[in-house]
Chain A
Amino acid sequence: MTEKSYRDAIRDAMMEEMDRDPNVLIMGEDIGVYEGTFRITAGMLKKYGPKRVIDTPIAEAGMVGTAVGMAMLGLRPIVEMMTMNFAIVAADQILNHAAKVRYFSGGQVDVPVVIRGPQGAGVQLSAQHSQTFESFYAHFPGLKVVAPATPADAKGLLKTAIRGRDPVIFLESAALYGMKGEVPDDAGFTVPFGVSRVARQGSDVTIVSYSRMLQMSLIAAEKLSEEGIECEVIDLRTLRPLDLNPACKSVSKTHRCVVVQEQWKPFGAAAEIAASITETVFDELDAPVARVTGEDVPMPYARNLEVLATPHEKHVIAAVKKVMYANG
């Protein structure tokens, strides 16, 4: 184990896989000479050369289209989006091609492409560049959607993504790039898709989350612990496939559930998660599953407003108390 940042864990995953498999390559805007806007790809051009670390024009649809073609013919491209917001330009390539080629080809052709990049609020990137896309992509069959909350998971899940047969949307939290954590050194270390984990044990309320909101939920859980309320926190890790077994098992114990997501409430991931939990363990619930979400507005640039528009610990704490009927 070595303590690594979320950023370095992602780079390690890519470099280990590029070392392991010559078919793995990476392409994106400013990833080579400039070494990446978030410096994820630092040193990679030097090590692997311009054939495997490809600087592209500002043309996301072209990047993804190229990558889909490469993947269909046997390569394993990674496409770095400067932020996931730019991938909207490539939505047709992602949703109508990457996600559907295997289906259209009757299972003959796989598209093992990884589309990765930062998303989310908290770093003052304003309305167009602070969005999160998990509910958008997880809606579509044919895609895998990954949203790691720790450096170790970022590394293990990215390696699984690169080695797999499917197009993967790999959503990194921009606000977590600097976060440090213990990461296994073993080059064979991977984290499978569709296996949620219990990030914190507790008996009173189950909090279900992923990515940055998972970290925020853990902080809220510590504060609640000081008040004698013990939260069990579930890290979903991947939204497609979605593993709600640990969450449902936990709710059967705590009988109360709060789902935390960063972005807008309507039709968000939390809605899907809450509904599925309700369907599965209806008889165990002592209160409606609560959702903690961002405000229903485009993300403001001003720091004070950005703070008001994103969920914070106090929202989680209030939601936990609400489902415990503890607010009087």
Chain B
Amino acid sequence: MADVIMPKMGDAMTEGKVVRWYKKSGDAVKKGEPLLEIETDKVNLDLEAEQDGTLGNMAVEAGQMMEVGGVLATILGAGEKQAPAASSAKAEPPGPARRAIDKKDSIKKTTGEYAEAIDMKAPRIDRTASAATAAGPQEDGGRRRSSPLARKMAREMGVSLEQLKGSGPGGRIVANDVKNFKPAPLAPQKTKAPSLPPIQKLETKDIPLTAMRRTIAKRLAESTGPIPHFYLTADYDVTNLLSLREQLNEIEGIRTSVNDFIVRAAALALRHHPNVNASWGDEAITQHGEIHIGIAVSTPEGLITPVVRNADQKSVVEISSDIRSLADKAKNRKLTPNDYQGSTFTISNLGAWGIEQFTAIINPPNVAILAIGAATAQPVVIDHQVVVRDRMKITMSCDHRVVDGALGAEYLRTLRSYLEQPVRLVL
């Protein structure tokens, strides 16, 4: 939409006359096409359309005057409608604001004979005093009025002025407003989460190796050993997850660990990225039709990874009970091969040992493993405020033959949507 404006054709020009309209309301106009003829003190000239569209909202008839800068008409683009009621001042016959100007009247005004009228119609603006009170607080993205001290305090406290209401004149934010500001309880961070993929039938299938994939695999393997590892670390806000776990554990008979939630989150995230739930073969990469999460468990004899089968289809509580019984079996050396074989993805958690971050070695034939660190309370800046949140670092080791950097990063991002909005884990 573009307004057709009465132009200022010289310093002395305050108004112009519409001589004639070449177009009428509703006519289609093309850019550069003359719309109307105007007459000024010095010249007559045509005003041209500045864009293609439909002429509308014509405010002045032929023979009438319009002040410089006044809107004569509007060119509506395709699909735009004439301004309806609220802003239809433009479409209405000239009202007081754009009243056709009587020349004699304006001359009288400048003589001072109508001094009172000038005051009435154009009250003097005291630019020092009324600037603040007349305009009021500007909350629509404009600059917020604030005292220098209030700004300094806000800077020091990490409070953004946008969050504050000003109690001073004209909505000025003063020191007391900053001092008395109580931050609203933090809403969980809203990251738009990918929707759960429909529970489709996952299938076991072979994806033939392409020449490129063979080359990538060969070169990476040659450079770093049988499995070319690379590592991605992400830092998650698990405040909500910890709180959810606490609530869940208040239910009698339920005793979940943070790791149980992570197992479920990791399994659900694999549903979004089946190409991480895979194995490398000389001829093909196998994507597995089931999600079995290996859990690294330490035993006196050494590390073993019992498997939570179909973890994506189990609730946190079911996962919890599975892991507990597997861990018991492991400690008592009662695991059967069925208990520890066939994982498609592995999780190793050293958080209980106070390890904040580490890298894990991939458990073949998996192509990725998550190394879970301890959740620690950290100062975090949210909305320009320092708040304490529980953070957890998770490092993903990937087999570069199968999982490229971007894929690993995408997986970790999906994982974030579960860990940071843990309500999705109980759906």
Residue A287 interfacial (CB < 8 Å): yes
Contact between chains at B174 and A284 (CB < 8 Å): no
User: Which residues of the partner chain B approach A286 to less than 8 Å between Cβ atoms?
Assistant: 147-150, 174-175
Nearest CB in chain B: distance from A260 CB, A: 20
Residue of A nearest to B150 (CB): A286
A284 to B148, CA, bound (A): 6
Residue of B nearest to A287 (CB): B147
User: Which residues of the partner chain B approach A255 to less than 8 Å between Cβ atoms?
Assistant: 149, 175
Residue of B nearest to A252 (CB): B149
User: Which residues of the partner chain B approach A267 to less than 8 Å between Cβ atoms?
Assistant: none
What band does the interface of chain B fall in when counting residues whose beta carbon is under 8 Å from A? Answer: 10 to 19
A287 to B148, CA, bound (A): 8
A residues 304-322 with Cβ under 8 Å of B? none
Knowing A325-B167, A325-B168, the reply to whether A287 touches B151 (Cβ < 8 A) is: no
Nearest CB in chain B: distance from A325 CB, A: 6
What band does the interface of chain A fall in when counting residues whose beta carbon is under 8 Å from B? Answer: under 10
User: Which residues of the partner chain B approach A325 to less than 8 Å between Cβ atoms?
Assistant: 167-169, 174, 176
A260 to B174, CA, bound (A): 23
Residue of A nearest to B132 (CB): A288
A285 to B148, CA, bound (A): 6
Nearest CB in chain B: distance from A323 CB, A: 10
User: Which residues of the partner chain B approach A283 to less than 8 Å between Cβ atoms?
Assistant: 148-149, 151-152
Contact between chains at B168 and A287 (CB < 8 Å): yes
B residues 137-153 with Cβ under 8 Å of A? 147-152
B residues 150-170 with Cβ under 8 Å of A? 150-152, 167-169
User: Which residues of the partner chain B approach A282 to less than 8 Å between Cβ atoms?
Assistant: 148
Question: 1/0 contact trace for A283-295 toward B, CB 8 Å?
Answer: 1111100000000
Which one of A255, A282, A284, A286 has the greatest number of beta carbons of chain B within 10 Å?
A: A286
Question: 1/0 contact trace for A234-273 toward B, CB 8 Å?
Answer: 0000000000000000000001000000000000000000
A264 to B206, CA, bound (A): 94
Residue of A nearest to B146 (CB): A286
Residue of B nearest to A282 (CB): B148
B residues 19-38 with Cβ under 8 Å of A? none
User: Which residues of the partner chain A approach B148 to less than 8 Å between Cβ atoms?
Assistant: 282-286
Which one of B149, B150, B151 has the greatest number of beta carbons of chain A within 10 Å?
A: B149
B residues 112-154 with Cβ under 8 Å of A? 147-152
Contact between chains at A287 and B174 (CB < 8 Å): yes
A287 to B168, CA, bound (A): 9
Residue of A nearest to B147 (CB): A286
Nearest CB in chain A: distance from B189 CB, A: 33
Contact between chains at A284 and B168 (CB < 8 Å): no
User: Which residues of the partner chain B approach A287 to less than 8 Å between Cβ atoms?
Assistant: 147, 168, 174
Knowing A255-B175, A325-B174, A325-B176, the reply to whether A284 touches B149 (Cβ < 8 A) is: yes
Nearest CB in chain B: distance from A116 CB, A: 37
Nearest CB in chain A: distance from B399 CB, A: 56
User: Which residues of the partner chain A approach B149 to less than 8 Å between Cβ atoms?
Assistant: 255, 283-286
Residue of B nearest to A322 (CB): B169
User: Which residues of the partner chain A approach B176 to less than 8 Å between Cβ atoms?
Assistant: 325
A285 to B175, CA, bound (A): 9
Nearest CB in chain A: distance from B145 CB, A: 12
Nearest CB in chain B: distance from A283 CB, A: 5
User: Which residues of the partner chain A approach B150 to less than 8 Å between Cβ atoms?
Assistant: 286
B residues 60-98 with Cβ under 8 Å of A? none
Nearest CB in chain B: distance from A231 CB, A: 17
A287 to B152, CA, bound (A): 13
A286 to B152, CA, bound (A): 10
A183 to B300, CA, bound (A): 92
Nearest CB in chain B: distance from A13 CB, A: 42
User: Which residues of the partner chain B approach A284 to less than 8 Å between Cβ atoms?
Assistant: 148-149, 152
Residue of B nearest to A288 (CB): B147
A284 to B167, CA, bound (A): 18
B residues 174-226 with Cβ under 8 Å of A? 174-176
Nearest CB in chain B: distance from A281 CB, A: 9
User: Which residues of the partner chain A approach B152 to less than 8 Å between Cβ atoms?
Assistant: 283-284
User: Which residues of the partner chain A approach B167 to less than 8 Å between Cβ atoms?
Assistant: 325
User: Which residues of the partner chain A approach B174 to less than 8 Å between Cβ atoms?
Assistant: 286-287, 325
Nearest CB in chain B: distance from A255 CB, A: 5
A44 to B151, CA, bound (A): 60
Which one of B147, B150, B152, B167 has the greatest number of beta carbons of chain A within 10 Å?
A: B147
Q: List 19 A-B contacts (CB under 8 A).
A: A255-B149, A255-B175, A283-B148, A283-B149, A283-B151, A283-B152, A284-B148, A285-B147, A285-B148, A286-B147, A286-B148, A286-B149, A286-B150, A286-B175, A287-B168, A325-B168, A325-B169, A325-B174, A325-B176
Q: Which 9 pairs, one residue from A and one from B, show the smallest C-beta to C-beta distance?
A: A286-B149, A286-B175, A286-B147, A283-B152, A283-B148, A285-B148, A255-B149, A282-B148, A286-B174
Q: A283-B151, A325-B167 are in contact. List 12 more A-B contacts (CB 8 A).
A: A284-B148, A284-B149, A285-B147, A285-B148, A285-B149, A286-B147, A286-B149, A286-B174, A286-B175, A287-B174, A325-B174, A325-B176
